[in-house]
Structure 1
Amino acid sequence: MIVALLNQKGGVGKTTLALHLAGAWARLGKRVTLIDADPQGSSLDWSEQRARQGVSRLFGVIGLARDTLHREAPELARDVDHIVIDGPPRVAGLMRSALLAADLVLIPAQPSPFDGWASGEILKLLGEARIFRPQLAARFVLNRCGARTVIARETAEALAEHDPPVLRATIGQRVVFADAPQSGRLVFEIDEDSLASDEVAAFAAEVARIAP
């Protein structure tokens, strides 16, 4: 399965979610490659930091920030169980290529009155991609949210009425998610028994169940 995390809005946590999704699957024994399709290269930076810290590799990370992704990703997918694409912000050509490569698109959104509606560009591109890939699945995923806050509940309710629907699993606003990239580790490597680790496991399990 090829999963792409895409949203033209920056700062919604695409890289954090992509790294943790890949890591959770790799931890279960799956062969995973993460494609860093963001010209900023944040996933590549995380991988390099991990190597500098002498932490063993969980999954492969390669840079592929070009609009031939839809031709190259399926070739890479032949050798692994899952491909996770950490998508670019505001680069329409790269987004189109990632959409055409993917089996499932995850659209991260933060619990905000505006964040759900700030995804108009990616939804338009998703509609265009479905002309060529009618089977292309998509879901919103709520990130950096307090599960018990009114705004998180209202955002989830608003997105629940839309296509694509929202995942039941959510990722909370937790300091450990900010600490993980700088250490080259993932939250379950920092504290296996934390709420953050539980959230990642639930997120990865739900995504795996959506396999087209």
Structure 2
Amino acid sequence: MIVAFLNQKGGVGKTTLALNLAGEWARQGRRVTLIDADPQGSALDWSQQRSREGLPRLFGVIGLARDTLHREAPDLAQDADYVVIDGPPRVASLMRSALLAADLVLIPVQPSPLDGWASAEMLSLVTEARIYRPELVARFVLNRCASRTVMARETAGMLADHDPPALVSAIGQRIGFAAAAQSGRLVAELDDDTPAAREITALADEIDRLRIGRTAR
């Protein structure tokens, strides 16, 4: 399965979610490849920091920030259980290519009206991609969410009845994500019994339950 984290709005946590989701599946014994399709190369930087720290490689990280992604990612998927794409912000050709490559598009949003407005353009691209890939599945992921705030509850309620809907699993505003990233680690490697680690596990499990499979191109 190819899972792409995409949102044209920057700063919504695509890289953090992509890395920790890929790491969770790798920790479960799955074969995982992460594609860094963001020209900024943050996932590649994380991988290099991990190497400098002398930490073992959990999964491969490949830089592929080009609009041939939809032709190259399926080849990588033949040798992996999961390919996770850390998508680009506001690069139309790369975004379209990532959409055509993906089986599942996850759109991270924060509990803010601004994120909702920014997602409208993203949803238009999803609709466009479904002309060529009608089987493409999309879901919102509520990220950096303080669950007790009114805004978070209102956002979750709004997305529950949305098309595409939101996943039940939400990711909180956790300092552990930043602390882990600085040393090339995952939150579960710092402590696998923290709220952040449990939320990532729940996210991975919910995606697995969607049972999305690849079909012939």
Q: What TM bracket, shorter-length normalisation?
A: over 0.9
Q: Determine if contact 1:176/1:187 at 8 Å carries over to the other structure.
A: yes
Alpha-carbon deviation of 1:89?
Answer: 0.1
Alignment of 1:12-27 (within 5 A): 12-27=12-27
Q: Give the Cα separation in 2 of the matches to 1:137 and 1:175.
A: 30
Q: Give the Cα separation in 1 of the matches to 2:122 and 2:210.
A: 20
Alignment of 1:42-191 (within 5 A): 42-191=42-191
Aligned-residue RMSD, C-alpha: 0.7
SS of match in other structure, 1:24: helix
Alpha-carbon deviation of 1:161?
Answer: 2.1
Confirm or deny that 1:197 pairs with 2:191.
Answer: no
Q: Give the Cα separation in 1 of the matches to 2:148 and 2:166.
A: 17
Runs of 4+ in 1 over 3 A off after TM superposition: none
User: 5+ unaligned residues in a row in structure 1: which ranges?
Assistant: none
Cα deviations across residues 56-106 of structure 1 (Å, max 9, x unaligned)?
A: 011000000000000000001001100000000000000000000000000
The letter of the residue matching 1:123 is: L
Q: Determine if contact 1:104/1:211 at 8 Å carries over to the other structure.
A: no
The letter of the residue matching 1:34 is: L
Alpha-carbon deviation of 1:115?
Answer: 1.2
Alpha-carbon deviation of 1:162?
Answer: 1.4
Q: Give the Cα separation in 2 of the matches to 1:163 and 1:75.
A: 30
Cα deviations across residues 147-170 of structure 1 (Å, max 9, x unaligned)?
A: 121110100111122111001001
Q: Give the Cα separation in 1 of the matches to 2:62 and 2:144.
A: 26
Alpha-carbon deviation of 1:193?
Answer: 1.2
Q: Give the Cα separation in 2 of the matches to 1:155 and 1:116.
A: 9
Q: Give the TM-score, by structure 2 length.
A: 0.96
The letter of the residue matching 2:111 is: P
SS of match in other structure, 2:140: strand
SS of match in other structure, 2:204: helix
Alpha-carbon deviation of 1:117?
Answer: 2.2
Q: Determine if contact 1:116/1:159 at 8 Å carries over to the other structure.
A: no
- Paired residue total: 212
User: 5+ unaligned residues in a row in structure 2: which ranges?
Assistant: 213-217
The letter of the residue matching 2:16 is: T
